[in-house]
Amino acid sequence: MESNWKPLNRPRRLRQTQALRDLNREVRLNPSDLIAPLFVTLGDNPPEPVASMPGVFRLSLADLLGECRELAGLGICGVALFPVIPLGLKTPNGSEALNPKGFILQVIRAVKDAVPELVVFTDIALDPYTTHGHDGVLNSQGTDVDNDSTVEILRQQAVLHASAGADFVAPSDMMDGRVKAIRLALDHAGFVNTGILAYSAKFASAYYGPFREAVGSAQAAGTRKLDKRTYQLDPANPRAAIVDALLDEQEGADALMVKPAGPYLDILASLRRETRLPLAAYQVSGEYAQIHAAARAGWLDLEATRNESLLAIKRAGADWILTYFAHEMALALRQH
């Protein structure tokens, strides 16, 4: 018997042409959504490739300023600065982080002078400065990071960065109470307009290895496999991530972050429902590296996978996306 059945509803009608697909696109990625993480080194050497991150370099200050100018010209609004500290300046307590003449403070001033329209985010943590590669100072037994001693250093570090012109300080350490302590320190020092982007839901992830190579914390510690589980979040605990993030909001954070981004889109979407603050997500070094590795093997299309991964982060609720694809993605969006 011949069937007369035909579908009444045909969602494919809205997908028939590129114009229709454009009209019905619900989520759009813009250059202004992106923040570019940048690695900066002492000296005037040419850009040094990060072996595990194709297309990413450790830059001299001069090259960094050139990159910042290009990024601003492409419509990118922010950069996140990460210093590569020479091994000779690393100490167990990360004392170089409090050097009032420190290299990163010179970098912040130079970027704000050269490209004042860029929003400068600076990392508040001790892992680039310590010989052991942890985000704070160790306790007397050397077995764990001492929370309160570390927070005292972070307060001072944040004030130094604000005094150099940072628009946002971004504590990435995951110490308890550090957002309130930093907010009070900034306000007391007169930096009431300096924002705090809190790494609020930062997981003890396996995806950070290439970053640790890039800043030299792995080299200092002698391993990429640093165990930070006593202070970073357990990947198995979504509720704990929301608790930590909302505590940061209560303590005065101006924006919250989920890190890594791609493997934790569920956390990002859940947090989006819980807060009205701007929400950032960090597409970390391991996410970037695995996309490149699969593309080099011929298993994935680099551009299509890059675009889809970033769109997924935006779709899950991120207002700001920190990504090593920022420069090339902004170029691609402008050409489109």
CATH number at 284 reads 3.20.20.70
Instruction: Inform me whether the pLDDT recorded for 285 exceeds 90.
Output: yes
Contact (Cβ atoms closer than 8 angstroms) between residue 163 and residue 201: no
Point out the least confidently predicted range of 28-42, 195-209, 213-227. 213-227
The predicted structure's pLDDT at residue 335: 85
The predicted structure's pLDDT at residue 226: 85
Assigned domain for 100 exists: yes
The predicted structure's pLDDT at residue 224: 59
Residue with the two structure tokens 């308890």: 176
Instruction: Inform me whether the pLDDT recorded for 167 exceeds 60.
Output: yes
CB atoms within 10 A of CB 106: 15
Assigned domain for 226 exists: yes
Contact (Cβ atoms closer than 8 angstroms) between residue 108 and residue 161: yes
- Alpha carbon separation from 43 to 38, 39, 48, 72 (Å, rounded): 16, 13, 12, 24
Nearest to 205 by CA among 145, 282, 306: 282
Assigned domain for 10 exists: no
The predicted structure's pLDDT at residue 220: 55
- Name, in order, each residue with C-beta under 8 angstroms of 14's C-beta and a sequence gap of 6 or more: 20, 21, 24
Q: What would the pLDDT profile of 99-121 be if each residue is shown by its tens digit?
A: 999 999 999 999 999 999 999 99
Assigned domain for 73 exists: yes
Assigned domain for 6 exists: no
Residue with the two structure tokens 């005094």: 163
The predicted structure's pLDDT at residue 2: 62
Q: What would the pLDDT profile of 60-108 be if each residue is shown by its tens digit?
A: 999 999 999 999 999 999 999 999 999 999 999 999 999 999 999 999 9
Assigned domain for 312 exists: yes
The predicted structure's pLDDT at residue 218: 62
Nearest to 282 by CA among 78, 35, 28, 75: 35
Nearest to 235 by CA among 256, 273, 208: 208
> Would you give the distance in Å from CA 335 to the centre of its chain?
25
Instruction: Inform me whether the pLDDT recorded for 18 exceeds 90.
Output: yes
Q: What would the pLDDT profile of 229-274 be if each residue is shown by its tens digit?
A: 999 999 999 999 999 999 999 999 999 999 999 999 999 999 999 9
* For range 142-160, the mean pLDDT: 97
What does pLDDT average to over the chain?
A: 95
* For range 122-142, the mean pLDDT: 95
First to last CA, the chain: 50
Assigned domain for 20 exists: no
Look at the chain and report how many structural domains it folds into: 1
Q: Which amino acids are annotated catalytic?
A: 202, 259
Domain carrying residue 240: 30-335
The predicted structure's pLDDT at residue 336: 73
The predicted structure's pLDDT at residue 5: 86
Assigned domain for 25 exists: no
